Chain A
Amino acid sequence: MPPPDPEHLFEQADALAAGQEARQADLRRAISAAYYGLFHFTLTAATDLVVGADGRSSARYSLVYRSVDHSRLRTLCSQLSGTKPQNLPLPSIGLGSIADFARIAGHLYELRNLADYDPSRNFTSDEAKLAISDARQAITWFQGGTKEQQEAFLTLLLFKSR
């Protein structure tokens, strides 16, 4: 089975957030789906790097895909918050727009955490739509990075620096 298509998750989120009568459960799921679209995009890119896109139906692909969890992505994104991340092997030209991608990914994870687990928060349709648009923009930023920048980020995601 191929990995989830991020755009399908974004379209699901669009539908949940679109209605004028969207309920809190709909809006929370929309924000969560926006994050998950970005998460699966990232896992697919990382696993394609190691295994290759032509191996997407293999057990080895699943093994690598499942090796990255949310907290690993969140931790790396947090490390890339500032302009000059410390103690990370980065390209000489920096991460460019991949750093923007990382900040949005980390942020959407936190927003999704509130949406999924914090009953004290209320969300609006506009906020959910903005989260979805942020996720789509983050992918655009990732794709706008150079191959070296993309691979640097994905390598840091897959392999912990010691």
Chain B
Amino acid sequence: MTTLTNEKIIEIAKDVATANNINFASVVTAPAIDSAGSEAVEIKFLLTPGSSQAIMGETSARTVSQLIQKLADAGEGRFPIVRYEEQVASSRS
């Protein structure tokens, strides 16, 4: 099974997110196990505070779909599990 490097996965994920106007601070990956017990890769977009609402609907879904598509086209054999986590705004003192 072909596996891309974390750096390549993050590069593809950032390209897809940017193309879909997603405001993210960073992208991180982690190994995961899919429902069939096979290796998977978790890709988490750390969204800037307050940006979750803006991507509800087509933007979020389009990003997930395109990321799955582009990773498959690049030969990634692991299924990507895409997650979104919004950063908490830092409070002012």
Residues of A within 8 A of B (CB): 70-71, 74, 78, 81-83, 99-100, 103-104, 106-107, 109-111, 113-114, 124, 126-127, 129-130, 133-134, 136-138, 140-141
Contacts and interface: CB of A to CB of B under 8 A. Distances in A.
B72 A81 contact: yes
A81 B55 CA distance: 22
Contacts of B80: 107
A130 B80 CA distance: 17
B85 interface: yes
Contact of B69 (A81, A113, A130, A133): A81
Contacts, number: 79
Which of A70, A107, A109, A136 counts the most chain B CB atoms within 10 A? A107
Contact of B65 (A100, A110, A124): A100
A27 B7 CA distance: 31
Which of B53, B64, B82 counts the most chain A CB atoms within 10 A? B64
Interface in B57-93: 57-58, 60-62, 64-65, 68-69, 71-73, 79-86
A124 B72 contact: no
Nearest to B60: A130
B35 interface: yes
Given A106-B79, A137-B57, A126 B68 contact: no
B37 to A, nearest CB: 11
A136 B84 contact: no
Contacts of B60: 130, 133-134, 137
Interface string B30-45: 0000111000100000
B3 interface: no
Given A83-B73, A103-B68, A130-B84, A78 B61 contact: no
B1 interface: no
Given A111-B81, A114-B81, A126-B84, 16 more contacts: A71-B35, A71-B36, A83-B69, A99-B69, A100-B61, A103-B65, A103-B69, A107-B68, A113-B34, A127-B84, A129-B56, A130-B52, A133-B56, A137-B60, A137-B61, A141-B61
